[in-house]
A and B are shown apart, each in its own frame.
Chain A
């Protein structure tokens, strides 16, 4: 299941096809060291949102479950890490990250049976409602020992990786995020190529047929939803590590909408779609807010409309099509 690409007879050598990957890796590894610290932070943010977008890509892109509540699991992961740090004084990176991802996954596992009773538009509304529930819960969390409510939890420490004498810098944190991102991309790659991943795409294309083939459609959708929750929680934990602050707005509808917009702009159900989309939105948002402080959402909105009108399949798809066609042309003669 390659993205709409050329199945043609003229295939460029592997070196040409691997070049974009090598270039992307080179940029991600080498460039941040040359950037000012605030840009290093933007790079971290970009990768964290790319992971968050992978969550949406698994649930909506591959499986076709249009969810508008992914921020709930992002938020559970983030809040779990934050509460452990400020209330229980546990600042270990490994403990907080593990707890955050586990709790976020459990939350998705608990919500799954409720939302998967319906499909299509009703699924969207129900996931939205449950996301909304998560948002309102954060307003009033005294029983979880979080009395801040709407103010959010501020002043979080950097997590302690347990290496003696280690000090976080923006750059070392970026590389940590890059490592986690590479792992997430690898998992997404394995998933999209595996029988299980293909079964999800089959379900997206037609549930009835998959049932007739012997697939337990409900179970596969549920597993996809839980996997999506795990990716979202992972992004939420990293976000708290980076931001050192979390507030109810991080579970808001807008937060759920981000990965959706990123995946649509980048390319639904493609490997690199979430990454390209996350880069586009994070950086356009950043630079437009500097250029036109009051009106930046206009620019972001226009980008979204233009992408929908002229790049339906997503930027990543067009880029990869262009690349393979260029390669085919080059090696034809």
Chain B
């Protein structure tokens, strides 16, 4: 079944067309990397998928269900988890508290008042698995603000895992990381459970070709190309508008 389907989705801010007529479907368990130059509409696409922004037209389906009109939290309840471009974990809470908060989000227990947050055994197991995955279980009592930057970024992904997502949206997970940390990040993404459909926005070539099974190229609000990494790499238009510039090779074409 399709995990996600965008059906002729457009987003306009006044007269500005940020996304035009995007039709895209992502199968369950696929690893998709979304690329495009700055302003191509990558983050906006994420915002539309998880409901942060309403669509101007078109429809969005999640596992066959039309979620176009649902608010952010209702879509999260249906399995969309998202990491943000800017680290947005809670810096003044410990690693463990952050993870527990995330894990409660999708459960009835989020309204619970009679038990302590950490008195839910199967949930704590989930939290431990998620933190282990990011190699952060040892640091669980540390305040997030005291973690190294690379650890914080990995922690974000671990957090989204604690929520048991079906569709994971990662916005520039390697943003601001050193080369070594970037390698760790690719490792974390590649070892995510196969059942989780993952869409990654990325600029970094290592990340793009390190995790992608399929690459979708956005260019000024339009879907320019969609295919496996080799096809995209060979695509002349993509080379012209994106990779050519990014790799610093000779510019072809007129921009």
Residues of A whose CB lies within 8 Å of any CB of B are 1, 7, 190-191, 193-199, 201-202, 205-206, 208-217, 223
Residues of B whose CB lies within 8 Å of any CB of A are 50, 52, 71-74, 76-77, 81-82, 84, 88-90, 92-94, 97, 100-102, 104-106, 109-117, 120, 141-143, 163
- In the bound complex, do residue A202 and residue B141 qualify as a contact, i.e. CB atoms below 8 Å apart? no
In the complex, which residues of chain A have a beta carbon less than 8 angstroms from the beta carbon of B88?
Answer: 206, 208-209
- In the bound complex, do residue A212 and residue B100 qualify as a contact, i.e. CB atoms below 8 Å apart? no
In the complex, which residues of chain A have a beta carbon less than 8 angstroms from the beta carbon of B93?
Answer: 1, 201, 205
* C-alpha spacing A1/B50, complex, angstroms: 28
Q: A205-B92, A208-B88, A214-B76 are in contact. Are A195 and B112 (CB under 8 A)?
A: yes
In the complex, which residues of chain B have a beta carbon less than 8 angstroms from the beta carbon of A202?
Answer: 90, 101
* C-alpha spacing A205/B93, complex, angstroms: 10
In the complex, which residues of chain B have a beta carbon less than 8 angstroms from the beta carbon of A214?
Answer: 73, 76-77, 105-106, 110, 163
B84, B90, B106: most-surrounded residue (chain A CB, <10 A): B90
CB distance from B105 to the nearest CB of A (A): 4
In the complex, which residues of chain A have a beta carbon less than 8 angstroms from the beta carbon of B97?
Answer: 1, 198
In the complex, which residues of chain A have a beta carbon less than 8 angstroms from the beta carbon of B109?
Answer: 195
- In the bound complex, do residue A199 and residue B81 qualify as a contact, i.e. CB atoms below 8 Å apart? no
In the complex, which residues of chain A have a beta carbon less than 8 angstroms from the beta carbon of B84?
Answer: 209, 212
CB distance from A201 to the nearest CB of B (A): 8
- In the bound complex, do residue A212 and residue B76 qualify as a contact, i.e. CB atoms below 8 Å apart? yes
* C-alpha spacing A200/B141, complex, angstroms: 21
- In the bound complex, do residue B163 and residue A213 qualify as a contact, i.e. CB atoms below 8 Å apart? yes
Which of B73, B76, B90, B113 has a CB less than 8 Å from the CB of A194? B113
Q: A214-B106, A215-B73 are in contact. Are A190 and B113 (CB under 8 A)?
A: yes
Which of A1, A199, A211, A212 has a CB less than 8 Å from the CB of B110? A199
Which of A191, A212, A215 has a CB less than 8 Å from the CB of B113? A191
* C-alpha spacing A311/B50, complex, angstroms: 42
- In the bound complex, do residue A208 and residue B52 qualify as a contact, i.e. CB atoms below 8 Å apart? yes
CB distance from B223 to the nearest CB of A (A): 25
- In the bound complex, do residue A190 and residue B114 qualify as a contact, i.e. CB atoms below 8 Å apart? yes
Interface contacts (Cβ under 8 Å), in number, total: 95
Interface pairs A-B: 5 shortest CB-CB: A214-B76, A213-B105, A211-B72, A214-B105, A195-B104
A7, A195, A198, A216: most-surrounded residue (chain B CB, <10 A): A195
- In the bound complex, do residue B115 and residue A212 qualify as a contact, i.e. CB atoms below 8 Å apart? no
* C-alpha spacing A212/B142, complex, angstroms: 24
In the complex, which residues of chain B have a beta carbon less than 8 angstroms from the beta carbon of A217?
Answer: 73
The residue in chain A whose Cβ has the minimal distance to the Cβ of B90 is A205
In the complex, which residues of chain B have a beta carbon less than 8 angstroms from the beta carbon of A210?
Answer: 73, 105
- In the bound complex, do residue A213 and residue B113 qualify as a contact, i.e. CB atoms below 8 Å apart? no
* C-alpha spacing A197/B84, complex, angstroms: 24
CB distance from A7 to the nearest CB of B (A): 5
* C-alpha spacing A191/B115, complex, angstroms: 9
- In the bound complex, do residue B100 and residue A198 qualify as a contact, i.e. CB atoms below 8 Å apart? yes
- In the bound complex, do residue B101 and residue A211 qualify as a contact, i.e. CB atoms below 8 Å apart? no
In the complex, which residues of chain B have a beta carbon less than 8 angstroms from the beta carbon of A191?
Answer: 113
Q: A202-B90, A213-B76 are in contact. Are A196 and B105 (CB under 8 A)?
A: no
In the complex, which residues of chain B have a beta carbon less than 8 angstroms from the beta carbon of A213?
Answer: 73, 76, 81, 101-102, 105-106, 163
* C-alpha spacing A197/B88, complex, angstroms: 20
In the complex, which residues of chain B have a beta carbon less than 8 angstroms from the beta carbon of A216?
Answer: 71, 73-74
A1, A210, A213, A217: most-surrounded residue (chain B CB, <10 A): A213
Which of B74, B92, B105, B117 has a CB less than 8 Å from the CB of A193? B117
- In the bound complex, do residue B117 and residue A212 qualify as a contact, i.e. CB atoms below 8 Å apart? no
- In the bound complex, do residue B90 and residue A206 qualify as a contact, i.e. CB atoms below 8 Å apart? yes
The residue in chain B whose Cβ has the minimal distance to the Cβ of A212 is B82
The residue in chain A whose Cβ has the minimal distance to the Cβ of B104 is A195
The residue in chain B whose Cβ has the minimal distance to the Cβ of A209 is B88
Q: A194-B116, A195-B104, A198-B117 are in contact. Are A215 and B110 (CB under 8 A)?
A: yes
The residue in chain A whose Cβ has the minimal distance to the Cβ of B108 is A195
In the complex, which residues of chain A have a beta carbon less than 8 angstroms from the beta carbon of B101?
Answer: 198-199, 202, 213
The residue in chain B whose Cβ has the minimal distance to the Cβ of A191 is B113
CB distance from A294 to the nearest CB of B (A): 43
Known pairs A206-B90, A213-B101 / 14 extra A-B pairs, C-beta < 8 Å: A1-B93, A7-B94, A191-B113, A194-B116, A195-B109, A196-B112, A199-B104, A205-B90, A206-B88, A210-B73, A212-B84, A213-B76, A213-B105, A215-B110
* C-alpha spacing A269/B202, complex, angstroms: 39
CB distance from A287 to the nearest CB of B (A): 36
The residue in chain A whose Cβ has the minimal distance to the Cβ of B77 is A214
Q: Can you list 10 residue pairs at the A/B interface with Cβ under 8 Å? A: A190-B114, A193-B116, A194-B112, A197-B113, A202-B90, A206-B88, A208-B88, A209-B88, A211-B73, A212-B81
In the complex, which residues of chain B have a beta carbon less than 8 angstroms from the beta carbon of A209?
Answer: 84, 88-90
